[in-house]
Amino acid sequence: MPRIALYPGSFDPVTNGHLDVVRHAVVLCDRLIVAVGLNSTKQPLFSTDERLDMVKAVFAPVAAKAGCAFDCTTYDNLTVAAAQKHGATIMIRGLRDGTDLDFEMQIAGMNETMAPDVHTVFVPASPAVRPITATLVRQIAGMGGDVSPFVPPLVAAGLKTKFGG
């Protein structure tokens, strides 16, 4: 039975922190599905199609190099329901610090109650990417700052285009 993992997030934009999580996740599963969450109450900087394109361009080569099948999708319901829909038994969650751990432990507990067959796996961020958040990246880019240390080159170029840089 193949090990299918779902890595959910908004990916607005894809950061080096997300890339770090994917590098670790592809060795834990046979197939990785990156799920871009759609939230009607939020206005993302990048469109759904732009985020999916970033996800494919940045993560697919990492998965291929590791011999892991890769796919991406969107979802607008419970994350655990998206995992079940795609046959995932592993939910990948990245952790930067203790605050993330406290929050993610609560979600993992609720998810386990709703879907006992989906197991949350926490991936600790590498030290170099721990401070990176998509929110901070958007703020820095919006103020004309250099985000190249925090995002893949393709994403940095997309942010420059978005902010007229």
- Binding site listing for ATP: 10-11, 18, 94-96, 104, 129-135
Q: What is the enclosing helix (H) or strand (E) of 23?
A: helix 16-25
pLDDT at 165: 64
Give residue-wise pLDDT tens across range 64-76: 999 999 999 999 9
Note the pLDDT of residue 107: 96
Q: Which of 45, 44, 66, 70 is nearest to 57 (CA)?
A: 70
Closest CA to 32 of 10, 59, 54, 1: 59
pTM across the whole model: 0.96
Q: What is the mean pLDDT of residues 53-63?
A: 98
Asked if residue 108 has pLDDT above 70, the reply is yes
The one-letter amino acid code at 68 reads C
List residues forming the annotated binding site for substrate.
10, 42, 79, 93
Report the alpha-carbon distance of residue 89 to residue 84 in Å, rounded.
7
Rg of the chain, C-alpha, whole Å: 15
SS3 93: strand
Domains assigned to the chain: 4-131 (3.40.50.620)
pLDDT in tens, 45-54: 999 999 999 9
- What are the C-alpha distances in Å from 36 to residues 20, 22, 148? 17, 14, 22
121 within 8 A of 5, measured Cβ to Cβ: yes
Are 83 and 6 a contacting pair, CB within 8 Å? yes
Q: Compute the average pLDDT of residues 2-25.
A: 98
Binding residues: 10-11, 18, 42, 79, 93-96, 104, 129-135
Residue 32, strand partner residues: 5, 70
